[in-house]
Chain A
Amino acid sequence: MSKARFSPTRSAFVHLALIAYTLVALFPVFLTIVNSFKNRNAIFREPMSLPTPSNFSLIGYETVLSQGNFLGYFQNSFIVTVASIALVLLFGAMAAFALSEYRFRGNTLMGLYLALGIMIPIRLGTVAILQGMVASGLVNTLTGLILVYTAQGLPLAVFILSEFMRTVSDDLKNAGRIDGLSEYAIFFRLVLPLVRPAMATVAVFTMIPIWNDLWFPLILAPGESTKTVTLGAQMFIGQFVINWNAVLSALSLAILPVLVLYVIFSRQLIRGITSGAVK
């Protein structure tokens, strides 16, 4: 395409608008992180300035690390997120393989059944989910949360992965069959490695809502030993509303892992969205 038709003034205007919105998007995050490194006076007197040697302070972080059990919360969030993603990927890929590879009666129906959950939020079943968890003794356990998140993530995973598995060449699979591989070996050794990029996309999409969820930890696992970092930060901040240093530090600590993961996975995520994985 010809590029000449974009006049310099027009592209300057586009840049200006995008820079303005980028500032709107990043400003609150910047403000929080910058002020978490200042002492109380500086937070109120010069909220906009960067920390200087004279007003630099880590008192907020000290409070957070001594008062809150943040390491434990991080560990819980980590276990729940990783275990749920692993189960979603394994079960989702297996079901997607069955749906995309074999013709059997009820195939389409099964696909539709599994796709229901993409549009209907699992939250609406909370009343009965809690009942079930109480009955099976899974309240206040990480297992309960992992099961719920696995069920929540499966519909989209099956949908995306079966789209991708249709593109795996039939010749390859048939060659494997002629060589005497079982259907399981074909799935695990031939197909899974080929859909790895799609699995990464699914992992990122599954991870964000699980890591950030407040509803299910609040209802199913509010106990101290099973609090996730989202719920822990919520409760901690609720108790320390007046201690601005502590609140800002807790927020910064909660932002950090998300930003690190985003830097690592942003390509995958954006490629996933723009390649039309979510439709």
Chain B
Amino acid sequence: MTDAEMTEIETGPAKRPVRWHIAVFLAPAVVVYTAIMILPLIETLRLSFFNLVEGQVRFVGLANFKVLFGDPRWAAEFWNALKNNIIFFVIHMLVQNPIGIALAAMLSVPNLRFAAFYRSAIFVPTLLSFVIVGFIWKLILSPIWGITPWMLDLVGLKWAFAPWLGKPNTALIAVSLISVWQYVGIPMMLIYAALLNIPDEVLEAAECDGITGWSQFWKIKLPLILPAIGIISILTFVGNFNAFDLIYTVQGALAGPDKSTDILGTLLYRTFFGFQLQLGDRSMGATIATVMFLIILAGVSLYLFVIQRRMRRYQF
């Protein structure tokens, strides 16, 4: 592809001299991007069709995928990771994005004092690394330190405490909520920007018609920020189906307890890189990466070709 581009540039229209500078400007970015990102991606997709047969790497067609989806050694882990990943995403959509929208709506109240302070403070967790976030929450939720039971006691809810991160049926929800805590700043900022872009005339017109407060938010502002909500949804989707770091720092590569927090990212890491007694398996790793690629590609295409096209954009 790039070679073709280059020759096109070099030959150019017959009359004009060769515009070498275009190639010079483009070359470094295109070379690095192609060599480190695009070619490895293609190579990974290609590797998913190969595996060791009698000690030799051979083309095996879709056999790796068959193994991943159906072989008892792999299928249980894979479907478990996929299911957990979907739950992880659903929790983000149901908790993170509504909270982000609500915070943005409150921040955009005109002449709100300290708005800049709130905005900066709420964005702090988003900047922290997963290592910090993971360990802080591990400590806070730990029964040894007792911060959480103590705080629940203040509101009379001490009975509700349990070592959430250590129990298979609550661990995934707990980890998802930690991730929500960390990332709520992103939907907040993007929605806030979208709300600021709504022109005053539109809101004034609404007020003249007697639409204020809550109904103004639901009837006027929300439809106008739908494109921004679409963007945060697809960003959440890509981020969630590519997540790894938080689970790794909170629950380790085994995504315990009992793989209850295993998602595709951690499964890919264990499969491809190996962990403890498990040896790394390049072909199966590439297969899992390919499945993740297809999932993300499907989500992005759905957004670009279906959702975004149907959405009405208002020009002011």
By the criterion CB–CB under 8 Å, are B137 and A154 in contact? Answer: no
Q: Cβ of B150: which chain A residues have Cβ within 8 Å of it? A: 47-48
By the criterion CB–CB under 8 Å, are B43 and A131 in contact? Answer: yes
A47-B145, A151-B37, A214-B130 are contacts. A124–B121 as well, Cβ < 8 Å?
Answer: no
By the criterion CB–CB under 8 Å, are A251 and B181 in contact? Answer: no
* B169 contacts A by Cβ under 8 Å: no
Q: Cβ of B272: which chain A residues have Cβ within 8 Å of it? A: 126-127
By the criterion CB–CB under 8 Å, are B197 and A276 in contact? Answer: yes
By the criterion CB–CB under 8 Å, are A251 and B289 in contact? Answer: no
Type the 1/0 row for A14-38, where 1 means its CB is closer than 8 Å to any CB of B. 1101110110111011011000000
Minimum CB–CB distance from A180 to chain B (whole Å) comes to 15
Complex Cα distance, B83 from A249, in Å, reads: 37
By the criterion CB–CB under 8 Å, are A24 and B181 in contact? Answer: yes
Complex Cα distance, B79 from A16, in Å, reads: 43
Looking at the complex, which one of A5, A18, A120 makes contact with B297 (CB distance below 8 Å)? A120
Q: Cβ of A6: which chain B residues have Cβ within 8 Å of it? A: 109-111
By the criterion CB–CB under 8 Å, are A234 and B127 in contact? Answer: no
Looking at the complex, which one of A1, A208, A230 makes contact with B200 (CB distance below 8 Å)? A1
Minimum CB–CB distance from A4 to chain B (whole Å) comes to 11
* A273 contacts B by Cβ under 8 Å: yes
Interface of A is mostly: helix
Q: Cβ of A11: which chain B residues have Cβ within 8 Å of it? A: 109, 112
* A167 contacts B by Cβ under 8 Å: no
Complex Cα distance, B32 from A91, in Å, reads: 9
Q: Cβ of B41: which chain A residues have Cβ within 8 Å of it? A: 120, 122, 124-125, 128
- Tell me which residues from 98 to 150 in chain B have a Cβ below 8 Å from any Cβ of chain A: 99, 102-103, 106-107, 109-114, 117-133, 135-137, 139-140, 145-147, 150
By the criterion CB–CB under 8 Å, are A14 and B33 in contact? Answer: no
By the criterion CB–CB under 8 Å, are A119 and B37 in contact? Answer: no
Looking at the complex, which one of A22, A91, A255 makes contact with B29 (CB distance below 8 Å)? A91
Complex Cα distance, B121 from A24, in Å, reads: 10
Q: How many residues of chain B get a CB closer than 8 Å to chain A's CBs?
A: 100
Looking at the complex, which one of B36, B181, B268, B300 makes contact with A151 (CB distance below 8 Å)? B36
Q: Cβ of A3: which chain B residues have Cβ within 8 Å of it? A: 110-111
- Tell me which residues from 236 to 279 in chain A have a Cβ below 8 Å from any Cβ of chain B: 237, 244, 247-248, 251, 254-255, 258-259, 262, 266, 269-270, 273-276, 278-279
A127-B47, A258-B127 are contacts. A154–B32 as well, Cβ < 8 Å?
Answer: yes
Q: Cβ of B92: which chain A residues have Cβ within 8 Å of it? A: none
Looking at the complex, which one of A31, A102, A151, A154 makes contact with B22 (CB distance below 8 Å)? A102
* B245 contacts A by Cβ under 8 Å: yes
* B293 contacts A by Cβ under 8 Å: yes
By the criterion CB–CB under 8 Å, are A121 and B33 in contact? Answer: no
Q: Interface segment, B1-9, B56-64, B160-168?
A: B1-9
By the criterion CB–CB under 8 Å, are B137 and A158 in contact? Answer: no
Minimum CB–CB distance from B21 to chain A (whole Å) comes to 4
Complex Cα distance, B285 from A20, in Å, reads: 44
Type the 1/0 row for A202-242, where 1 means its CB is closer than 8 Å to any CB of B. 00000010011111000100000000001001100100000
Looking at the complex, which one of B22, B120, B296 makes contact with A104 (CB distance below 8 Å)? B22
A269 to chain B: closest residue by CB: B123
* A60 contacts B by Cβ under 8 Å: no
Complex Cα distance, B40 from A247, in Å, reads: 37
Q: Cβ of B132: which chain A residues have Cβ within 8 Å of it? A: 32, 233, 251, 254-255
Q: Cβ of A211: which chain B residues have Cβ within 8 Å of it? A: 129
Complex Cα distance, B28 from A151, in Å, reads: 10
B294 to chain A: closest residue by CB: A124
A90 to chain B: closest residue by CB: B28
A94-B29, A154-B32, A278-B190 are contacts. A254–B43 as well, Cβ < 8 Å?
Answer: no
Q: Cβ of A255: which chain B residues have Cβ within 8 Å of it? A: 128, 132
A3-B110, A147-B36, A258-B128 are contacts. A98–B136 as well, Cβ < 8 Å?
Answer: no
Complex Cα distance, B108 from A31, in Å, reads: 29
* A44 contacts B by Cβ under 8 Å: yes
By the criterion CB–CB under 8 Å, are B21 and A119 in contact? Answer: no
Type the 1/0 row for A105-117, where 1 means its CB is closer than 8 Å to any CB of B. 1100110011011
Complex Cα distance, B215 from A5, in Å, reads: 14
- Tell me which residues from 18 to 70 in chain A have a Cβ below 8 Å from any Cβ of chain B: 18-19, 21-22, 24-26, 28-29, 31-32, 43-44, 47-48
Would you list 15 pairs from A and B whose C-beta atoms are within 8 A, ordered by A residue?
A3-B111, A18-B118, A26-B124, A29-B136, A44-B145, A94-B28, A95-B28, A114-B33, A125-B43, A126-B44, A128-B43, A128-B44, A214-B129, A274-B192, A274-B196
Known contacts A17-B102, A276-B193; 10 additional CB pairs below 8 A are: A6-B109, A19-B118, A22-B117, A26-B121, A125-B37, A129-B36, A214-B129, A234-B131, A248-B139, A266-B120
